[in-house]
């Protein structure tokens, strides 16, 4: 059954606005179109053909329909005694009859008298019929194809009749609202008032709920004329806002009334017994009074009154609680007797005795009222307040509920009673299965309770949203407008620094937030079905959910801005460059990333500071909430990036960092599907591209060729302020996975080149044989020839990929090293005790390992200690083993050939004191072949770290022989002609590379001098200086 379009959410809130009128007209047009489409789309013979699939004895069906026509099978009319409420009382029965009539379609087509009888009894004043759990039907549509049913429904759908129904129910709404407000006034609903006026109060609730039901259902009418009558154009029409207001106030009155009646019923016998004893004692005191023997009295003895009061006392004591009807009649007689006895002269002239008699009559009246109070009152109220028809319809009023809460924070307290009223919905699906003793009762109850709880959370989610809007204003006030007070100030400056208007606004917003929290906490723990609703938990979850939404939005906006700028630079490379585009891409990236990270840091810091300020007013540990949710977001993004490098993946919604109650939005911040962390890592990689930047070891940062710094200590400090320790740790893990991927790619390239079936395995064996000679240096011409042959056989692809992977590994290692330095500095500043403790624990742990056997398993605390060390910046990325691989026997020789092809394309930069791409190599089209000294050396060192130490020794021997061979070649060239500049020779570059390699590999100078004599490095130092 297709539902009609929803009404505009602001109906009744601003009926004079142009925006509202446009929404209203568009909604009416959509209704008319919907009605036309329903008529056209309805298949012939539907739905009676569908019901005909179930074979039921026609006679049985007719008997059931006859029973429904004649009897009140649900016995609800006892709660709705007025004829005006007949359709409400028989609403459940009408829904069943509507369904059953499809089993006997000839009734709908031809039985005019029978259908007239059905309509007159069930549908005389309504045509929108709730069927089951929020499903409803419009008889104007459903019976349009059935002649008898359509004719019978004609009187109900008469325009004047509908207009009268609208006026009647609108009047009921207004009357009920005024009465409910009167009864809800503090101090009105006392026990005595309630006992005297319980029937009037219940009648008010009956009228209110009946009118709410009619208007809520009939706002779903598909007839444009009727919809205008109900929703818009009737004079004094009831808007949805007024309807919601009556729902809330009625629910509050119902809750108060049921609580008080429940208490009165529980104490019913105690009240009866207390009043009986007290009234009997008063009669005994009056009897004693007229004996004339009481001290300090001057009354003459009257034996008649003495006997009469004793008889009344006995009559009162003989009243029985077990027979309330008889007891009530006897009490009425006693009350009349006490009124008549006041006519005696001795009593009429005594104000004290008359007051005594009046108090006795009041006690007897209370006995009558209490004995007349029965359990049926509560059951009737439960029937009256049922809202099972609104299971789906109540969602139409979500925006109005949100607006009410935003405009009136105190209205939050009314929501609890509203939720309790909606809990009556849960009874409908459980009645039959619980009567049948089905084992599915609990699961069904849990499902519908969960759905109701979800609705409660959706209603209350406006509170954290509004609170965050207020927090934004608080942040602006605290950071931009309010001046911090100095420790000492002069008296004349006090008025200026007070800023009373701003502080009043700050106090107002703070009070607004605390009122929201107070209203939620006042709701108390409530049981909805089989689930317990903890308002404090709901508020905290709502705050967490909104916090996660805001943080992810801020992160997404930051990365989107960076991505847009990067795309604009890429598109600019294909056209004529402007003055702005001629700026170095790395510098542009640094500027954009730095600016956006600064904005992100300001936003996140504002949220954090606001949480710290407001946490005491909302009764929640704001700093803990911030840290937990922010860490969860970062870990979730990092985990999604990690799955890009893993074979075994987990769906995003199944992540251990994801939550159904507080979901992290699944957003991809770039075209390749990267999350915030992945896109941020990509931006850092673009800033440190070898062709665009140079890593200077002495400054521990990346610089442009003209000396402008791109990424150094300042950048990573800003990164720390923006994404925090959690973000830096996440980036560290992410670059670690990228290193693993690059190292695996290198091993695959090696297997392709130098494996058992490699394309150049024979060439590598030849080079190894040439380098293995202990007495002869390798021929320089052979190494050059082997390098050219390797490059040519791989058609540049394998060689370029191998070099690119090595440089990527080195660059990622350098980034990790800078992150570790920043983490360590933050730990020393903000958690010095933890930093010192971890250092001590690490030393003790390592010392214990040296005395353990190799087969002894590591303690369980080792993994936890390793995580804490990494997050505190105490780990060393250079010493890590990232992969386990099969032996690559000729890897050192392959690395030598790769390096021998790179060294000619490098030059020594005296200002940076490191190797940089030569001017000639920068003009090459293939920028992936560019490399500078530090990332190249660290990449090779990291690669060899993954294998046995013998690989490093072999590589050192190879590079040493390469240096000596290159020097010999340089001197040979010098004897035949002009000697080349030493700083431009390959040997010079290889020695600079070797120094960097040993530095990152942790090889001491004595070991280095074992392969290359020290005097060569002394000469290198003198030459470079």
pLDDT at 17: 42
pLDDT at 974: 53
Q: What is the pLDDT of residues 28-37, one digit of tens each?
A: 677 667 666 7
Which range is least confidently modeled, 108-122, 435-449, 553-567, 627-641?
A: 553-567
pLDDT at 451: 86
Q: How far is CA 128 from the centre of its chain?
A: 37
Give which of 808, 805, 662, 677 is closest to 730, Cα–Cα.
Answer: 677
pLDDT at 994: 92
3-state secondary structure of 658: coil
pLDDT at 793: 65
Q: Confirm whether 606 is domain-assigned.
A: yes
Q: How far apart are CA 879 and CA 884, in angstroms?
A: 14
Task: Name the more confident of 382 and 786.
Answer: 382
Alpha helix (H) ranges present in 461-499?
462-476, 491-498
Q: How deeply is 403 buried, as exposed, middle or buried, from its count of CB atoms within 10 A (0-12, 13-18, 19+)?
A: middle
Q: What average pLDDT score do residues 731-760 get?
A: 86
pLDDT at 209: 93
Query: What's the number of CA atoms in the CB half-sphere (13 Å) around residue 846?
Result: 8
Q: What average pLDDT score do residues 151-161 get?
A: 92
pLDDT at 796: 47
Q: What average pLDDT score do residues 71-87 get?
A: 86
Q: How far apart are CA 24 and CA 6, in angstroms?
A: 11
pLDDT at 100: 92
Are the beta carbons of 101 and 226 closer than 8 angstroms? no
253 and 276 inside one domain: no
Q: What is the pLDDT of residues 611-665, one digit of tens each?
A: 887 888 787 888 888 999 999 999 999 998 888 888 787 787 888 898 888 889 8
Are the beta carbons of 695 and 818 closer than 8 angstroms? no
Of 397-411, 711-725, 741-755, 967-981, highest mean pLDDT: 711-725
Give residue 556's domain range: 537-687
36 and 135 inside one domain: yes
Which range is least confidently modeled, 67-76, 106-115, 739-748, 843-852?
A: 843-852
235 and 322 inside one domain: no
Instruction: Give bridge partners of residue 128 from the DSSP assignment.
Output: 138
The 10 Å Cβ neighbour count of residue 508 is 11
787 and 675 inside one domain: no
Q: How far is CA 32 from the centre of its chain?
A: 38
**pLDDT class for 734, splitting at 50, 70, 90?**
very high
Q: What average pLDDT score do residues 266-283 get?
A: 87
Residue 822 has pLDDT above 90, yes or no: yes
Q: What average pLDDT score do residues 413-428 get?
A: 84
pLDDT at 939: 94
pLDDT at 465: 85
Radius of gyration in angstroms for the set of CA atoms belonging to the chain, rounded to a whole number: 44
CA angle, residues 500, 506, 508, in degrees to nearest 5: 100
Give which of 640, 617, 730 is closest to 684, Cα–Cα.
Answer: 730
Instruction: Give bridge partners of residue 533 from the DSSP assignment.
Output: 526
b/e burial code for range 131-151 (CB count within 10 A of at least 16 → b): beebebbbbbbbbbbbebbbe
Q: What average pLDDT score do residues 151-162 get?
A: 92
DSSP-assigned letter for residue 479: I
pLDDT at 16: 39
DSSP E strands in 412-563: the ranges are 526-528, 531-533
pLDDT at 811: 94
626 and 775 inside one domain: no
Are the beta carbons of 630 and 605 closer than 8 angstroms? no
* Phi–psi pair at 757, nearest 5 degrees: -110, 25
| Cα–Cα separations (whole angstroms), residue 335 to 320, 331, 341, 344, 368 | 16, 6, 10, 16, 10
Q: Confirm whether 501 is domain-assigned.
A: no
Q: What is the pLDDT of residues 769-816, one digit of tens each?
A: 777 766 667 776 677 777 777 766 665 445 568 888 999 999 999 999
Q: How far is CA 233 from the centre of its chain?
A: 40
pLDDT at 2: 46
Q: How far apart are CA 970 and CA 986, in angstroms?
A: 9
- Written as six digits, the tokens of 710 are 């791109």
Q: Confirm whether 531 is domain-assigned.
A: no
% of residues, the chain, pLDDT over 70: 87
Q: Confirm whether 478 is domain-assigned.
A: no
pLDDT at 560: 84
Are the beta carbons of 127 and 140 closer than 8 angstroms? yes
353 and 411 inside one domain: no
- Written as six digits, the tokens of 978 are 């002009």
Task: Name the more confident of 301 and 401.
Answer: 401
295 and 195 inside one domain: no
Of 97-101, 363-367, 767-771, highest mean pLDDT: 97-101
Task: Name the more confident of 979 and 317.
Answer: 317
Q: Confirm whether 708 is domain-assigned.
A: no
Q: How far apart are CA 343 and CA 332, in angstroms?
A: 18
**Tally of domains within the chain:** 4
Q: What is the pLDDT of residues 940-993, one digit of tens each?
A: 999 999 999 999 999 999 888 888 888 877 666 554 444 444 544 788 888 999
Crossing angle between the packed helical segments 832-850 and 861-871, to the nearest 10 degrees: 140
| Summary mean pLDDT of the chain | 82
Are the beta carbons of 196 and 369 closer than 8 angstroms? yes
Q: Confirm whether 519 is domain-assigned.
A: no
Q: How far apart are CA 549 and CA 669, in angstroms?
A: 15
979 and 901 inside one domain: yes
- Written as six digits, the tokens of 484 are 């911090």
Give which of 707, 727, 730 is closest to 718, Cα–Cα.
Answer: 727
3-state secondary structure of 703: strand
75 and 184 inside one domain: yes
Q: How deeply is 795 buried, as exposed, middle or buried, from its count of CB atoms within 10 A (0-12, 13-18, 19+)?
A: exposed
Which range is least confidently modeled, 270-279, 473-482, 876-885?
A: 473-482
Greatest CA separation for the chain: 158
Host H or E run for residue 232: none
Q: Confirm whether 483 is domain-assigned.
A: no
986 and 882 inside one domain: yes
790 and 882 inside one domain: yes
54 and 183 inside one domain: yes
Residue 902 has pLDDT above 80, yes or no: yes
| CB within 8 Å of 18: residues ≥ 6 apart | none
Are the beta carbons of 960 and 896 closer than 8 angstroms? no
Are the beta carbons of 105 and 142 closer than 8 angstroms? no
Q: What's this model's pTM, rounded to 2 decimal places? A: 0.76
| Cα–Cα separations (whole angstroms), residue 259 to 107, 377, 535, 718, 1024 | 47, 12, 20, 59, 92
Q: Confirm whether 923 is domain-assigned.
A: yes
pLDDT at 14: 43
């Amino acid at each position: 059954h297709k539902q009609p379009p929803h009404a505009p959410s602001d109906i009744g809130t601003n009926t004079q606005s142009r925006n509202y009128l446009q929404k209203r007209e568009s909604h009416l047009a959509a209704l008319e179109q919907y009605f036309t489409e329903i008529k056209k789309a309805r298949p012939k013979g539907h739905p009676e053909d569908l019901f005909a699939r179930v074979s039921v004895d026609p006679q049985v069906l007719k008997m059931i329909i006859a029973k429904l026509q004649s009897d009140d099978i649900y016995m609800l009319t006892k709660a709705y005694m007025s004829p005006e409420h007949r359709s409400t009382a028989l609403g459940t029965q009408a829904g069943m009859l509507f369904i059953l009539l499809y089993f006997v379609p000839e009734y709908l087509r031809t039985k005019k008298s029978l259908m007239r009888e059905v309509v007159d009894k069930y549908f005389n004043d309504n045509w929108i019929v709730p069927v089951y759990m929020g499903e409803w039907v419009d008889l104007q549509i459903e019976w349009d194809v059935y002649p008898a049913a359509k004719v019978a429904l004609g009187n109900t759908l008469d325009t004047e009749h509908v207009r009268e129904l609208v006026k009647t129910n609108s009047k009921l709404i207004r009357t009920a609202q005024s009465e409910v407000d009167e009864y809800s006034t503090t101090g009105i609903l006392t026990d005595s008032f309630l006992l005297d006026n319980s029937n009037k109060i219940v009648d008010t609730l009956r009228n209110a709920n009946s009118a709410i039901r009619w208007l809520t259902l009939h706002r779903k009418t598909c007839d444009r004329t009727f919809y205008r009558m109900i929703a818009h154009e009737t004079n004094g029409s009831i808007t949805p806002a007024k309807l919601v207001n009556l729902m809330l106030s009625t629910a509050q009155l119902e809750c108060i009334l049921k609580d008080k009646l429940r208490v009165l019923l529980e104490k019913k016998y105690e009240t009866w017994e207390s009043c009986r004893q007290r009234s009997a004692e008063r009669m005994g005191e009056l009897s004693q009074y007229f004996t004339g023997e009481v001290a300090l009295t001057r009354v003459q003895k009257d034996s008649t009154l003495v006997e009469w009061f004793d008889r009344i006392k006995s009559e009162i004591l003989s009243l029985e609680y077990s027979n309330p009807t008889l007891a009530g009649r006897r009490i009425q007689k006693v009350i009349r007797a006490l009124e008549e006895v006041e006519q005696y002269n001795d009593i009429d002239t005594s104000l004290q005795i008359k007051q005594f008699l009046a108090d006795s009559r009041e006690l007897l009246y209370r006995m009558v009222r209490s004995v007349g109070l029965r359990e049926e009152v509560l059951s009737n109220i439960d029937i009256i307040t049922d809202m099972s028809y609104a299971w789906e319809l109540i969602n139409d009023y979500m925006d109005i509920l949100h607006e009410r809460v935003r405009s009136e924070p105190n209205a939050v307290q009314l929501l609890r009673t509203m939720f309790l009223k909606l809990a009556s919905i849960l009874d409908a699906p459980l009645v039959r299965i619980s009567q049948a003793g089905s084992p599915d009762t609990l699961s069904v109850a849990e499902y519908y309770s969960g759905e109701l709880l979800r609705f409660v959370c959706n209603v209350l989610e406006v509170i954290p949203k509004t609170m965050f809007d207020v927090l934004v204003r608080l942040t602006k006030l605290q950071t931009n407008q309010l001046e911090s007070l100095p420790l000492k100030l002069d008296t004349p400056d006090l008025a200026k620094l007070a800023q009373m208007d701003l502080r009043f606004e700050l106090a107002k917003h703070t009070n607004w937030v605390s009122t929201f929290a107070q209203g939620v906490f006042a709701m108390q723990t409530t049981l909805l079905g089989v689930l317990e609703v903890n308002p404090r938990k709901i508020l905290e979850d709502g705050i967490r959910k909104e916090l996660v939404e805001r943080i992810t939005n801020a992160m997404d906006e930051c990365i989107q801005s960076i991505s847009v700028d990067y795309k604009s630079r890429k598109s600019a490379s294909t056209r004529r460059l402007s003055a702005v585009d001629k700026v170095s891409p790395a510098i542009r990236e640094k500027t954009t990333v730095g600016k956006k990270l600064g904005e992100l840091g300001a936003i996140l810091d504002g949220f954090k500071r606001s949480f710290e300020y407001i946490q005491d007013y909302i009764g929640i540990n704001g700093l803990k909430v911030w840290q937990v949710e922010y860490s969860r977001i970062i870990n979730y993004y990092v985990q999604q990036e990690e799955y890009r490098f893993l074979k075994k993946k987990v769906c995003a919604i199944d992540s251990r960092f994801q939550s159904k109650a507080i979901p992290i939005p699944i957003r991809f911040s770039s075209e390749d599907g990267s999350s915030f962390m992945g896109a941020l890592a990509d931006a850092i990689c673009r800033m440190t591209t070898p062709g665009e930047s140079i890593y200077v070891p002495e400054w521990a940062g990346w610089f442009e060729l003209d000396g402008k710094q791109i990424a150094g200590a300042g950048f990573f400090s800003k990164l720390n302020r923006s994404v925090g320790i959690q973000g830096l740790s996440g980036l560290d893990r992410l670059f670690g996975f990228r290193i693993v991927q690059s190292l695996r790619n290198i091993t695959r390239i090696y297997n392709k080149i130098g494996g058992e079936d490699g394309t150049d395995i024979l060439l590598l064996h030849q080079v190894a044989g040439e380098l293995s000679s202990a007495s002869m240096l390798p021929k320089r011409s052979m190494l050059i020839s082997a390098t050219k042959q390797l490059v040519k056989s791989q058609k540049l692809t394998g060689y370029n990929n191998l070099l690119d992977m090595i440089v990527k590994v080195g660059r990622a290692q350098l980034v990790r090293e800078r992150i570790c330095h920043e983490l360590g500095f933050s730990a020393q500043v903000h958690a010095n005790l933890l930093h010192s403790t971890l250092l001590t624990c690490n030393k003790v742990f390592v010392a214990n390992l040296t005395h353990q056997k190799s087969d002894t398993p590591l303690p369980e605390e080792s993994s936890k200690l390793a995580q804490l060390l990494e997050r505190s910046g105490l780990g060393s990325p250079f010493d890590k083993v990232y992969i386990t691989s099969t032996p690559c026997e000729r890897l050192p020789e392959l690395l030598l050939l790769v390096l021998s092809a790179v060294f000619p394309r490098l030059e020594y930069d005296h200002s940076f004191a490191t190797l940089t791409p030569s001017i000639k190599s920068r003009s090459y089209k293939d920028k992936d072949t560019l490399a500078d000294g530090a990332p190249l050396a660290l990449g090779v060192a990291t690669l060899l770290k993954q294998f046995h130490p013998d690989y490093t020794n072999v590589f050192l021997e190879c590079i040493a022989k390469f240096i000596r061979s290159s020097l010999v070649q340089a001197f040979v060239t010098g004897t035949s002609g002009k000697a080349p500049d030493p700083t431009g020779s390959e040997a010079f570059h290889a020695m600079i590379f070797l120094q960097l390699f040993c530095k990152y590999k942790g090889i001491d100078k004595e070991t280095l001098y074992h392969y290359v004599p020290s005097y060569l490095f002394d000469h290198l130092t003198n030459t470079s200086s």
